[in-house]
Structure 1
Amino acid sequence: MKAEIVWNTKAQLGEGPFWDEKKQVLHWVDIDGCKLNTYSPKENENKQLSFGQQVTAVVKRKKGGFVLAMRDGMYLFDADRLEKVASPEKEVSHHRFNDGKCDPAGRFWAGTMVTEGQEKDAALYRLNTDYSCQKVIGDVQISNGLAWDLSHELMYYIDTLTQQVVSYHYNLDSGEITNRDVVYTFEETDGFPDGMTIDQEGMLWVAMYNGWQVIQLNPFTKEKIAAVQVDAKCVTSCAFGGEDYQTLYITSASSGDEKDKHGGALFAVKTKSKGIKPDEFAG
Structure 2
Amino acid sequence: MKAEVVWKTRAQLGEGPFWDEKEQVLHWVDIDGCKLNTYSPSLNENKQLSFGQQVTAVVKRKKGGFVLAMKDGVYLFEGDRLEKVASPEKEVSHHRFNDGKCDPAGRLWAGTMVTKGQHKDAALYRIDTDLSCEKVISDVQISNGLAWDMSQQLMYYIDTKTQQVVSYQYDIDSGEIQHKEVVYTFDDRDGHPDGMTIDRDGMLWVAMYNGWQVIQLNPRTKEKVNSVEVNAKCVTSCAFGGDDYRTLFITSASSDDEQDEFGGALFAVETDSQGMKPDEFAG
| Structure 2 residue runs without a partner (length 5+) | none
Aligned position for 1:269:
269
Equivalent-residue separation in structure 2 for 1:266 and 1:74 (angstroms) = 25
Which aligned segments of 4 or more residues in structure 1 are displaced greater than 3 angstroms?
none
Aligned position for 2:119:
119
Q: Secondary structure at 1:255's aligned position in 2?
A: coil
Aligned position for 1:7:
7
Equivalent-residue separation in structure 1 for 2:152 and 2:184 (angstroms) = 20
- Offset at residue 146 of structure 1 (A): 0.1
Equivalent-residue separation in structure 2 for 1:117 and 1:228 (angstroms) = 32
Q: Secondary structure at 2:281's aligned position in 1?
A: coil
Q: Secondary structure at 1:155's aligned position in 2?
A: strand
Aligned position for 1:199:
199
Deviations 1:183-242 (A, max 9, x none): 000001000000000000000000000000000000000000000000000000000000
Q: Secondary structure at 2:200's aligned position in 1?
A: coil
Aligned position for 1:210:
210
Q: Aligned partner of 2:97: which letter? A: F
Q: Secondary structure at 2:119's aligned position in 1?
A: coil
Report how many residues are paired.
283
Equivalent-residue separation in structure 1 for 2:127 and 2:278 (angstroms) = 17
Aligned position for 1:159:
159
- Offset at residue 152 of structure 1 (A): 6.4
Deviations 1:240-275 (A, max 9, x none): 000100000000000111010000000000000000
- Offset at residue 54 of structure 1 (A): 0.1
| Structure 1 residue runs without a partner (length 5+) | none
Equivalent-residue separation in structure 2 for 1:222 and 1:269 (angstroms) = 24
Equivalent-residue separation in structure 2 for 1:198 and 1:78 (angstroms) = 28
Normalised TM-score (structure 2): 1.00
Equivalent-residue separation in structure 2 for 1:228 and 1:70 (angstroms) = 29
Q: Secondary structure at 1:259's aligned position in 2?
A: coil
Normalised TM-score (structure 1): 1.00
Contact map agreement 1:150 1:202 (CA 8 A) in 2: no
Deviations 1:147-204 (A, max 9, x none): 0014261000000010000000000000000000000000010000000000000000
Equivalent-residue separation in structure 2 for 1:150 and 1:92 (angstroms) = 34
- Offset at residue 4 of structure 1 (A): 0.1
Contact map agreement 1:107 1:129 (CA 8 A) in 2: yes
Equivalent-residue separation in structure 2 for 1:278 and 1:65 (angstroms) = 15
Deviations 1:94-115 (A, max 9, x none): 0000000000000000000000
Aligned position for 2:223:
223
Q: Secondary structure at 1:182's aligned position in 2?
A: strand
Equivalent-residue separation in structure 1 for 2:85 and 2:265 (angstroms) = 31
